[in-house]
Amino acid sequence: MKKKLLLLILIVVSMVYAGEKWFRLYKQGVEALQNGQYELAVQKLEAALAAKDRETKKIRTYGMHFIEYFPHRELGIAYYFLDKKKKALFHLKKSYKTEPTERARSYLKKLAGDYLDNPPPQKNMPPESKNAPVRAHASKLKLVGERMGIAVLPFENKGASRDLGNIVLDKMINALVNKGRFKVIERAQLEKILEEQQLGQSGIIDASTAAEIGKGLGVDAMVLGSVAVTPDGAASIDARLIDTESAKIILAHDAYARDKSVQTVKTAVQQLADDITTDLPLVQGFVIQTPQPGSLMLDMGSQSGLRKGVKCVIYKEGKEIRHPVSGEVLGKETIILGTAIITEVYDKYSNARIEGTPKGAITVGDRFVTK
């Protein structure tokens, strides 16, 4: 009897120790991730998984408390910042499949938005459905007309040095250019306008002024933001996207850098650029109604990432284009009819207003793609 009791005690002690080990490793990994120590985060989280290969929302510890435990999700995010996209996608998919958290979803959208909108088909289900979302991966979209034009204004310094503001400005321009999603105005071209209007010295520009500058540049939106330094030396970066037509805020995001080093600030700015791009996805679809002159109803809504104020190119496809030798169909003629701006967004459809005078009649069945 005593031997059985001793064996039971040893088993309980080993379970407690093992629990402490995986939790300690997981906690260290999450802390390293929060501090931007991504290599260390990978090391700790991989070790935590080796000790306890499990992904769930809550785990009861050997006491009476519950803890949040998402090793695959946090590991995927660490790999994302290390630019190891395949590994990031693997772990984020695994986490999202087990427990679809919003944090995992946001990073999956940065890596492969079509995974969320077009998940792998279930067994015994047809691979395609007429009711399935038609939002496609960017590489599958037919890019018609110009992309959304934006310019980045100097960031307002709130306790930060001018050098830090310039670093944020340069890194933001580079990050947005590298996304390939937008047509970004060169800094020199913008500085010339600011100098002519004597607006570049203070670094303080309001939304209406930003919109006016944007109109002069011929862009769709302006990035307007600020940089503040906290007492402990960290940097807080805010960015807003201003529509040049209405001077309204299209979206707003912020990021936090634990110190003012160039690499840390670059990572924070990259996060902002990712968030901006994620919130303005390339979406394509069809015109499903023309309720009255100058207005359209489109078959995509908030579930596909559309938002109020986004501009679209309306077009129709013409004759097939065939290779003169092989006869292979290379594509179809594209006829641009005009542009429209989204005015109301619902879950699965949107209303839009035609801008200017269309180049041709817009009818049901014509296509659109976001700028």
Could you give the domains of the chain?
2-117 (1.25.40.10), 149-279 (3.40.50.10070), 284-370 (2.40.10.410)
pLDDT in 10s for each residue of the chain, 371 residues: 545 444 444 434 444 444 467 778 888 888 888 777 888 989 988 888 887 655 544 444 444 344 578 889 999 999 988 888 888 888 988 888 888 887 888 888 777 654 554 554 443 433 433 333 344 444 456 677 788 999 999 888 887 777 888 889 999 999 999 888 899 988 888 887 777 766 654 556 788 888 888 888 889 999 999 999 888 888 899 999 999 988 888 899 999 888 888 888 999 999 899 889 888 888 999 999 999 999 999 999 988 889 888 999 999 988 888 888 888 888 888 999 999 999 999 999 999 999 988 888 999 999 999 98
CA 43 to chain CA centroid, nearest Å: 26
Provide the sign of the torsion angle of the four alpha carbons 356, 359, 365, 368, taken in this order: negative
Element (H, E) at 295: strand 295-298
CA 240 to chain CA centroid, nearest Å: 14
Task: Bin 328: left if φ > 0, else alpha if -120 < ψ < 50, else beta.
Answer: beta
